[in-house]
Amino acid sequence: MSEQFVYTTPLDPRATPLIEGLTFEYDSRYGDVMREPGAPREMDRYPAEVFSPARGGNFVLLLRDGVAIGGGAFMRHDEHTAELKRVWTDSALRRQGLASRVLLELEAQVRRQGYGRIYLTTGFRQPEAVGLYLGHGYTALFEPPIDPETPRKLPFEKHLDVGRVQGRATVQQAEAVAR
């Protein structure tokens, strides 16, 4: 069994499982609350070009024996900040540390491309993602809602500067979001 990270584009045929898996996941978790009439589906919000190095982004796949089992992307948020998007692992292979590996690879590439900060948002119905980001030193930029089913995006940030103390959300925040 051979695994490798490959930098490519969302248009790469090997990315099809990632795109289809994420589309299914977003539609099944949020189809009842997040779609405004006429609004694009989440997977259609960003053209492939925003994830290209020429535009300040990148797109990576984690391949196992040539098949995508995980991946993710980032795009330029501002001059100093990359915005993570599309972090995903095959649903049949979850709870094996693959998302952490993808996240660490993306962080390394963000550094290589000269960014000092990462920004991202995840959804209110993705407690696994909240746990992943909190567990990797991201700071939650939100307060827990009174009603955890309040539709909203949950923003996070992480400063990549060496020697800078990483902010952490409180356990109470993480527990409130995970409910």
Say what the pTM is. 0.84
Q: Strand, coil or helix: what is 70?
A: strand
The CATH code belonging to domain 3-178 is: 3.40.630.30
With a cut of 70, which residues of the chain have pLDDT below it?
34-43, 162-179
Name the residue among 84, 123, 90 with its Cα closest to residue 105: 84
Per-residue pLDDT at 147: 80
Comparing C-alpha atoms, which of 76, 71, 73 is closest to residue 93? 71
Q: What is the DSSP letter of 95?
A: S
Residue 174 Cα distances to 129, 141, 144, angstroms: 11, 12, 8
Q: What was the pLDDT predicted at 36?
A: 57
pLDDT at 27: 82
